[in-house]
Chains A and B, each alone.
Chain A
Amino acid sequence: MIPVQSTADPLVELRDIRKCFGSHEVLKGIDLDVRPGEVVALLGSSGSGKTTLLRCVNLLDQPSSGRIAIAGQPIYDRSPDGRDNVHLKGRDIWAMRSRVGMVFQQFNLFPHMSVLANVMEGPRTVLGEDDRTNRERAMDLLAKVGMADFADRMPTRLSGGQKQRVSIARALNMRPAMMLFDEPTSALDPELVGEVLNTMITLAREGMTMLVVTHELGFALEVATRVVFLDQGAIAAQGTPQQVLLHPENERVRTFVNRFHATAELMRPLLST
């Protein structure tokens, strides 16, 4: 499958996003667009600001300054001097979030609800949807992520990979325009990573717009239409996965990628026996 560079209007527009925690500047003026159908992988070593950037997209974290627009609608605009140029009501932000699905590193399933109730919770509480259509769609989504048999289980009795697949179904049940993934496989045992990645690959193939913070270089190489490499709060490189990962021009990216090659090298003697 050859990814087609979309020319449609961007779903996400980030302009000059800055974020300070105290005197420490985590994001140093990021510009990033995500267009419909794109799968953008956000890479970078820990502390590079990629998770913070992702959380700024749906305003779980508020940038110190910068502009954000979702589907052309400005949702945040603060000048560097602290002046707000967009005044959004709480309900507008909630409505925006309901259109942007999010998957967390720690899954964050609601432990007091069954798997099915977790998936139904968004439409039930946020959209006030009736239970019948909601349940049907939730069961379809659970089947899609291979969790239909676990609908009545409580989340504590699931493996990490199962939890993450349920949390993907929970986000999808809101019928989001796009999905944010925050290191979705980083908390998983190695043998459980595959099942979650497969679910994400299916989603990408169906044309879902995705912004994915990840350490899975394989996923970035195979599935992403674009790779963005963050270093110390700034974009150090971006382009097609082949450009950025296989022929890195940036020194930082080269070190980062080589570290993964090095681990693979270390594994080789173990694998050949």
Chain B
Amino acid sequence: MFDWSVITQNLDLLGWGLLVTLRYTVITCLLGLVIGLVIALAQLSPLRVTRVAGMLFVEFFRNVPLLVWLLWSYYALPIFAGIRISREAAGILALSLYGAAYYAEILRAGIQALDHGQGDAAKALGMSPLQAMYRIILPQAFRQMIPPLAGQTIIQMKNTTLLSVITIPDLLYQASYISSFTYRPMEVYTAVGIIFLIILVPSNYLARRLELRNH
């Protein structure tokens, strides 16, 4: 039935694919977190303009399917903007912004859930809103937010498989390539599924442990 030699003979391709997947996961998560923090702060700002802008950003990405947005960024954006954009840049941009919208919601909720007395105490000492944010609010809010942030990061890793549609050679792209010349999709896609399970099941377990410890 299963012929695992298909896998063992193409381990190098799968390995490269996995590295690409991990690389895009790390880059788009970090970028997404940074952009997400900016969006969250914009939503919490006293300025109406930035609040509305932040809200529109989040609403946009929560309502556009990621696959549509990804294809649009690669095929349509360059025509609209009259620029050339590599598939790598398009992929990173699309995934980072998409992740940022979800990170922003987690960060905003976490900051808002923090006891108002903490902000009061920081302000009463004479801190600027920015000082209060990075010295007092964020360090506490981040602790509360680790579990949902970990959860979102896991989703982000799974989302990188969509990059294969704009021919970025990630794990899924390599799998379809291997099955195109071996004609063994069953083994290849099973292997890809198992690889994701091996990485993500422990990650999920860890995230849940963190959640329990916080309660």
Which A residues are within 8 Å of any B CB, using their own CB?
A: 58, 60, 90-91, 94-102, 104, 106, 108-112, 121-122, 125-126, 167, 170-171, 174
Contact = CB atoms under 8 A, between A and B. Distances in A.
Contacts of B123: 60, 94, 97
B117 A121 contact: no
Interface residues of B, number: 19
A98 B117 contact: no
A111 B131 contact: no
B118 interface: yes
A125 B127 contact: yes
B126 interface: yes
Interface of B: 115, 117-118, 120-129, 131, 135-136, 139-140, 143
A121 B124 contact: no
A94 B127 contact: yes
Given A111-B140, A112-B140, A122 B126 contact: yes
Contacts, number: 63
Contacts of B124: 58, 60, 97, 100-102, 104, 171
Contacts of B122: 110
A114 to B, nearest CB: 13
Contact of B125 (A91, A112, A121): A121
Contacts of A97: 123-126
Contact of A108 (B120, B127, B128): B120
Contacts of B125: 97-98, 121-122, 125-126, 170-171, 174
Contacts of B127: 94, 125-126
B117 A112 contact: no
Given A102-B124, A112-B143, 7 more contacts: A58-B124, A90-B129, A94-B123, A102-B121, A104-B124, A108-B118, A126-B125
Given A104-B120, A106-B117, A125-B131, A112 B126 contact: no
